[in-house]
Amino acid sequence: MPRIVLLVTSPRLPAGLLTAAAWDVVRAAVVLAGAESELTTAIRSAGGQVRVPDGPVVPALLDAAAAHDTVVWLAGPAGDEALARELGLRLAREPGLAEMELMYGSWDPPGARLLDAVAVLDRLLSPGGDPWKRAQTHQSLAGFLLEECYEAYDAIAASDTDSLREELGDVLLQVVLHARLAEELPEDERWTIDDVAGGLVDKMIRRNPHVFAGAEAGSLEEITANWERIKQAEKARKSVLDGVALSQPALSLATQILERATRANLIASLPTPETQPTPEQTLGATLLSTVANAHAAGLNPESALRHTTLTYAKTLPTPEPPPQPPTPSS
């Protein structure tokens, strides 16, 4: 029986990157396509026969199948569902005309939609794109990056995985947006999203020799210690506090500084509240002492205060609506 093969390929892979089975069928059969493309060019270059039908597709496919036994239709990225449905109904009404087969010539690899994200942001920041995004800078977007990270944190705290997926998309938007803006920097400062991804890949390979270099994994503590040793060698930092994000919330900042000092076996006396010259400095010394006590007890002061504050917020009564002015009588 004549055979009609609907060949689906990934638009995110190079045109000639097909499975062996797909190449066998497009070389041996007549191929029809909705339009010329890089894939039609690749098939012709490999000796295949490709043509774009002038009229309705379904009759053209049936005629080609009857004449050549097997015909291939190069389906679009969505798989041409409407065409497949029309062809399926025709074959169901007229059994024996041909049999229809769906074949995947290539698949989207994991992370393929990241390429779409990069393409969309490139379009938005190119001439003719979105004026607001084109007017932004790394500095003007800094607050948005923090805001999106906090919203993702809230989704994690709420165990809301659907919201987390969406919020991480907003974080990803900021990452890709900053990378696209960096392409507009002077040549000696310029970098791209590939530089960001490449740096991440190289770092992960270097810092995980127990995965990528055949080193012994050891315990979790040993893995963490090895990570820190590799990181220290990479950064060549002069101080144990190098790399601490100074713009993070004060409780987290204090906790991280105390943790870095403890890890390096550095001991320094904390400021005492009683010796501070101003009320603000007295309060700061008191808070730092509280954070130090929490750190020594293995507690996280940031999450503790957040939890208690949110619990307190739920106890606040709903404010009464303001009184409405009397309606003038008619």
Question: pLDDT tens track of the chain, all 330 residues?
Answer: 899 999 999 888 888 899 999 999 999 999 999 999 999 999 999 999 999 999 899 999 999 999 999 999 998 766 688 899 999 999 999 988 999 999 999 988 899 899 999 999 999 999 999 999 999 999 999 999 999 999 999 999 889 999 999 999 999 999 999 999 999 999 999 999 999 999 999 999 999 998 888 888 788 888 888 887 887 777 766 677 777 888 888 888 899 899 888 887 887 889 999 999 999 999 999 999 999 999 999 999 988 998 899 899 999 988 877 777 777 664
Residue 329: predicted pLDDT: 63
The class level of CATH for 112-191 reads mainly alpha
* Residues contacting 305, CB < 8 A, separation 6+: 251
DSSP for 211-230 reads HHS------HHHHHHHHHHH
Per-residue pLDDT tens for 135-156?
999 999 999 999 999 999 999 9
**Structural domain boundaries in the chain:** 3-104, 112-191, 245-302
Whether 3-104 and 112-191 share one fold: the answer is no
Fold classification of 3-104 (topology level): Cobalt-precorrin-4 Transmethylase; domain 1 (3.40.1010)
In the chain, at which residue ranges do the beta strands (DSSP E only) sit?
Answer: 3-8, 30-33, 49-51, 70-74, 99-104
Tell me the whole-structure pTM to 2 decimals.
0.70
